[in-house]
């Protein structure tokens, strides 16, 4: 959680700091979570889960492909410590989550806040396809623009 707090202070991710960051990282629908280490220090994290109520990408992908949203897996909670960036850690973490999704016979998808240009650049560099940009209301006073991505087939 130290790394997550550092990323939040520097980059504003997550946009809204969770009341219980430990529960946010290990949410109930998670199938797996992985960390990256440099030396003996944790420097990154990613998780894979079934789509939840607020996840838009599973529905978009399933509509496009004429299948059930149950055939998707959501890649989320991806972050890398600022001092560890530039070593391919984000790509390795995403690769691990994608490998797990495909091993389960599922298609990896994700939503990302549109203002997170570093993350969107990474996904696009890795060949993820932007399916749509959608506005989502997170609270009565917070409307957020999200990019919805699907991993390359």
Confidence of residue 6 (pLDDT cuts 50, 70, 90): very high
Confidence of residue 137 (pLDDT cuts 50, 70, 90): very high
Could you report the per-residue pLDDT of 59-84, keeping only the tens digit for each? 999 999 999 999 999 999 999 999 99
Q: Residue 27 pLDDT > 90, yes or no?
A: no
Q: Residue 29 pLDDT > 90, yes or no?
A: no
The whole-model pTM stands at 0.94
Q: Residue 26 pLDDT > 90, yes or no?
A: no
Average pLDDT over residues 84-105: 97
Q: What percent of the chain has pLDDT over 70?
A: 100
Helix (H) or strand (E) holding 91: helix 89-103
Express the helix, strand and coil content of the chain in percent, nearest 5 each: 35, 35, 30
Nearest to 75, CA basis, from 3, 15, 11, 149? 149
- Check residue 153 and give its pLDDT: 86
- Check residue 152 and give its pLDDT: 94
Q: Residue 28 pLDDT > 80, yes or no?
A: no
Q: Residue 113 pLDDT > 90, yes or no?
A: yes
Average pLDDT over residues 16-23: 93
> C-alpha distances in angstroms, 51 versus 4, 39, 118, 139?
22, 33, 23, 20
Mean pLDDT score of the chain? 95
- Check residue 35 and give its pLDDT: 96
- Check residue 48 and give its pLDDT: 97
Nearest to 115, CA basis, from 77, 143, 151? 143
């Amino acid at each position: 959680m130290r790394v997550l707090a550092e990323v939040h202070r520097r980059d504003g991710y997550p946009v809204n700091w969770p009341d219980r960051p430990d529960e946010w990282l290990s949410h109930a629908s998670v199938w797996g979570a992985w960390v990256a280490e440099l030396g003996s220090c944790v420097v990154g994290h990613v998780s894979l889960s079934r789509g939840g109520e607020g996840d838009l990408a599973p529905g978009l992908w399933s509509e496009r492909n004429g299948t059930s949203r149950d055939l998707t897996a959501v890649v989320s909670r991806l972050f890398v410590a600022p001092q560890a960036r530039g070593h391919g850690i984000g790509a390795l973490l995403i690769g691990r989550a994608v490998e797990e999704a495909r091993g389960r016979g599922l298609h990896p998808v994700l939503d990302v806040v549109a203002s997170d240009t570093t993350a969107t650049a990474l996904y696009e560099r890795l060949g993820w396809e932007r399916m749509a940009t959608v506005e989502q209301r997170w609270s009565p006073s917070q409307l957020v623009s999200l990019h919805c991505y699907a991993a390359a087939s």
